[in-house]
Amino acid sequence: MRDDKLPDVLIPGLRIVFCGTAVGRRSAEVGAYYARPGNRFWPTLAEVGLTPRRMLPEEFRELPSHGIGLTDLAKKVSGMDADLADGDYDVKGFTERLAGAAPRIVAFNGKQAASVCLGRRTREIPVGLQQERIGGSLLYVLPSTSGAASGYWDIGPWRELASAAWFRPRLP
């Protein structure tokens, strides 16, 4: 949409779509997802083997070639979670956008995004595979890659997601 801070990266057939709450201010300024230097998103994708190398934020449009998509729950605003109001989130629009892409997995980059989507408190949401689904997509919650959440950082769940048998590409 024309007034979105960043465009969705959603096409049919993706293995995984990463979903955050909203793009950060730096990302909105430069027009690229996870652009703040302290964010662990890009190095983590490479480290756990979801991409063959460490990609740069401005290469985000290339992610579908690796089976990966990106979106956020609040598309019209940018900033830290604490700066967002309840009305900034569009869960209905999010689920409608996912219906068209129908990824195998929706992975929330942080518990806050999952909390908004699932309507539960963050403390009630475990990291890992969730019981809920969106359409046919599995839901997975990951520790946030944001530098602001570094006290909760753990690459382990990212590794588990990347190596899970139900996630790996199907062989012909």
N-term to C-term CA, the chain: 36
Q: What is the pLDDT of residue 171?
A: 41
Q: What is the pLDDT of residue 169?
A: 56
**pLDDT over 60 (residue 89):** yes
Percentage above 70 pLDDT, the chain: 94
Mean pLDDT to the nearest integer, 30-47: 96
Q: What is the pLDDT of residue 167?
A: 61
Mean pLDDT to the nearest integer, 47-72: 96
Q: How far is CA 149 from the centre of its chain?
A: 15
Widest Cα–Cα separation across the chain: 46
Q: pTM to 2 decimals?
A: 0.94
CB 34, CB 59: distance < 8 Å: no
Mean pLDDT to the nearest integer, 96-118: 95
Q: What is the pLDDT of residue 150?
A: 84
CB 48, CB 162: distance < 8 Å: yes
Residue 57: phi and psi, rounded to 5, are -55, -40
Q: Poorest-confidence range of 5-9, 42-46, 144-148?
A: 144-148
